[in-house]
DNA sequence: TCGATGCCTTGACCTGGATCAAAGGCGCGG
DNA sequence: CCGCGCCTTTGATCCAGGTCAAGGCATCGA
């Protein structure tokens, strides 16, 4: 968060970035891209467990993840912590702070993570001149609203199996968009963090993973996961609280 | 949704509106305000139960509530419906559609409701020229993210009592901002809708309201509610899943 | 006036997932 | 190589809140 990389290296930061199609530069012309690049500050990587910013910090910048992964955590008055999201390369964090100029969640690295910092005032200013940038910025804000509302549906209406399946599928589809495997990946978060995020107990996560494996849906080895049966996982993820269990334990 | 009010009446729509401090015009100068007003279309009121738009509709406009109230509802693949929010005068709906140019929730009037329609393309365009408008637009988007994340914390970490208390307090504080009473108000939504929103069963809502009343926290008569003890309601709302019940039923 | 319909309340019972408790791995410093 | 923490698994038990079932009580059209 301190050492800024010198100017020479910064040049073409966004233009060369493999994530540009996911990130802010999407749909921006060459010359405007150059103006955006001038705002971006690259930093030395953030170590696992360190924060990008804390809940309560004033809004200065938003951040794009370049490599690694982070979680965002909100803590309520009573001290209850809720993880409100995990974020991967190409995704931006800090949007919640625009409303009141204060971050209302903390963002913490799950592994060593490098980010691009973008001062918000200057981004706002630039977005006035560059319609494509403004539009993309709003799209990204809107997408976060969408995702949060999907999550509300998950927490409000779905049982533990559907939550777990939806979580795995969400990771899978995000990794695909980044050129990684849809069916084999590494979990950068602990069981406890998954549990927190899904509104379940850690023990429940453990049991669900074991059960999914027994039933041939997935393979788990520590934090390495393989999804074996995507179609069936989708069925499980779409089960309403009604739908019945995906494996009616055959009694007898 | 069809009959547009003639131009004469439209004049000064925003400038005279008592909600301008909550809504889009916040912090915009006189001349820019006039430009914004030219985009706004006022309509005949929407009847209770009718929709402003449906999930799946293409994004054309966003809407500001002028009088009345609405709910937004998302339905999952499996048909499970989740109410993702209630909206009152001065609030805007439709932001979720910016990401993919398609609404991913339906918005339905809870009572006869009048709205201002604002074509999104033209709003986007205008926001390029008017920094204050752009900023306010982003603030409103960001605020929705914040609110959804507060809701995630509620659904993920809080028990039924805390959810109910938080719900009542949220209504209260929003009504205050609109010049209404903080402690006496009418619920425009049914018990079933509250239940759906809070991820609980309708019966649970009924019982909670009865219990809150017994305990002197509130008064309920059908859909008329009075909050009698704001401080204690805040305590209940802040109870983590740990905190213990607000009334340890004295045994013996 | 009388169903019929839609909301709400109340009681009895059931269950999914939390909680409590007790071991496994497994990486790491010494 | 051992010992110490941390994460994870697995089993046993518990309980908040869901589900099922019966009314209650307005409003409405015939």
Are the beta carbons of A230 and A182 closer than 8 angstroms?
A: yes
Residue whose CA is minimally distant from D18 C1': B201
Report d(CA A244, CA B223) in Å as an integer: 35
pLDDT, tens digit, for every residue of B189-240?
999 999 999 999 999 999 999 999 999 999 999 999 999 999 999 999 998 7
pLDDT, tens digit, for every residue of A97-111?
999 999 999 999 999
Residues 178-197 of B, Cβ under 7 A from nucleic strand C: 190-192
**Helices (H), strands (E): how many in chain B?**
8, 11
Which helix (H) or strand (E) element contains residue B98?
none
pTM summary value = 0.92
pLDDT, tens digit, for every residue of A42-57?
988 999 999 999 999 9
Are the beta carbons of B84 and B105 closer than 8 angstroms?
A: yes
Full 3-state SS string of B5-67: CCHHHHCCCCCCCCCCCCCCCCCCCHHHHHHHHCCCEEECCECCCCEEECCCCECCEEEEEEE
Give the pairing type, strands A92-93 and B92-93. Answer: unpaired
Question: Distance, angstroms, CA A159 to C1' D13?
Answer: 21
B250 contacts: CB under 8 Å, gap ≥ 6 = none
Within 47-86 of B, beta carbons closer than 8 Å to A belong to 74, 76-82, 84
> Cβ-count burial of B197 within 10 angstroms (0-12 exposed, 13-18 middle, 19+ buried)?
buried
pLDDT, tens digit, for every residue of B146-180?
999 999 999 999 999 999 999 999 999 999 999 99
Residue B156 forms contact with A (CB below 8 Å)? yes
The number of residues in chain B equals: 252
Question: Distance, angstroms, CA B113 to C1' C4?
Answer: 29
From first to last of its 252 residues, chain A has per-residue pLDDT tens of: 555 555 545 456 788 899 999 999 998 988 999 999 999 999 889 999 999 999 999 999 999 999 999 999 999 888 889 999 999 999 999 999 999 999 999 999 999 999 999 999 999 999 999 999 999 999 999 999 999 999 999 999 999 999 999 999 999 999 999 999 999 999 999 999 999 999 999 999 999 999 999 999 999 999 999 999 999 999 999 987 554 444 433 332
Q: Alpha carbon of B241 to those of B18, B161, B173, B212: distances in Å?
A: 40, 10, 24, 18
CA distance A159 to chain B (A): 11
């Amino acid at each position: 968060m301190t050492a800024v990389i010198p100017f020479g290296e910064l040049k073409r930061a966004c233009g060369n970035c493999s994530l540009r199609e996911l990130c802010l530069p999407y749909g921006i012309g060459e010359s405007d891209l150059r103006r955006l690049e001038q705002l971006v500050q690259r930093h030395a990587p953030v170590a696992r467990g360190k924060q990008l910013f804390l809940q309560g910090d004033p809004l200065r910048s938003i951040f794009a993840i370049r490599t690694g992964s982070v979680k965002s955590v909100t803590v309520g008055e009573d001290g209850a912590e809720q993880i409100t999201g995990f974020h991967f390369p190409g995704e931006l964090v800090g949007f919640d702070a625009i409303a009141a100029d204060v971050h209302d969640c903390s963002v913490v690295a799950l592994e060593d993570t490098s980010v691009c910092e973008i001062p918000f005032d200057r981004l706002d200013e630039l977005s006035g001149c560059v319609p494509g940038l403004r539009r993309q910025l709003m799209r990204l804000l809107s997408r976060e609203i969408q995702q949060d509302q999907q999550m509300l549906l998950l927490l409000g209406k779905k049982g533990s199996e559907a939550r777990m399946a939806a979580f795995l599928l969400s990771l899978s589809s995000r990794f695909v968009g980044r050129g990684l495997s849809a069916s084999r990946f590494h979990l950068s978060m602990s069981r406890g963090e998954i549990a927190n995020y899904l509104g379940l107990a850690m023990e429940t996560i453990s049991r669900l993973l074991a059960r999914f494996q027994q039933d041939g849906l997935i393979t788990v080895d520590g934090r390495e996961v393989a999804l074996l049966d995507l179609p069936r996982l989708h069925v499980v993820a779409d089960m309403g609280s009604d739908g019945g269990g995906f494996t009616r334990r055959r009694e007898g």
